[in-house]
Amino acid sequence: FHYVLGVQGQDCNTVTYTKRTICALKGSSVDISCTYGSGYDTVTSSLWFSPKQSDRWRDKSTPEDLTTDPGYAGCVEYVGEKERGRSTLRITDLREEDSAEYKFIFNTQTSRWGYSFPGTTLTVTDLQVKVTPARKAGKRTLMCITTCTLTDNPTYIWYQNGHKVKEATSSLYSDYISDADSYSCAVKGHEDLHSPAVCEC
pLDDT at position 135 is 62
Q: How far apart are CA 185 and CA 154, in angstroms?
A: 12
Residues of the chain with pLDDT below 50 are 4-10, 201
pLDDT at position 57 is 87
pLDDT at position 90 is 97
Which one, of 1, 89, 5, lies nearest residue 41 by Cα? 5
The reported pTM is 0.85
Q: What is the per-residue pLDDT across 58-86, written as a single tens digit (0 to 9) for each?
A: 887 788 999 999 989 899 999 976 567 89
pLDDT at position 83 is 64
CA atoms within 13 A on the CB side of 162: 0
Assess contact for 86 and 43: CB atoms under 8 A. Answer: no
Which one, of 95, 156, 86, 145, lies nearest residue 122 by Cα? 95
pLDDT at position 95 is 95
- Rounded to the nearest angstrom, the gap between the alpha carbon of residue 5 and the centroid of all alpha carbons in its chain is 28
pLDDT at position 177 is 75
pLDDT at position 126 is 95
pLDDT at position 21 is 96
pLDDT at position 23 is 97
| Structure-derived torsion over alpha carbons of residues 52, 56, 58, 59, reported in degrees to the nearest 10 | 20
> Which string of b and e fits 42-54 if b means at least 16 CB within 10 Å?
ebeebbbbbeebe
Q: What is the per-residue pLDDT across 102-131, written as a single tens digit (0 to 9) for each?
A: 999 988 887 777 777 889 999 999 999 998
- Structural domains in the chain? 2-124 (2.60.40.10), 127-199 (2.60.40.10)
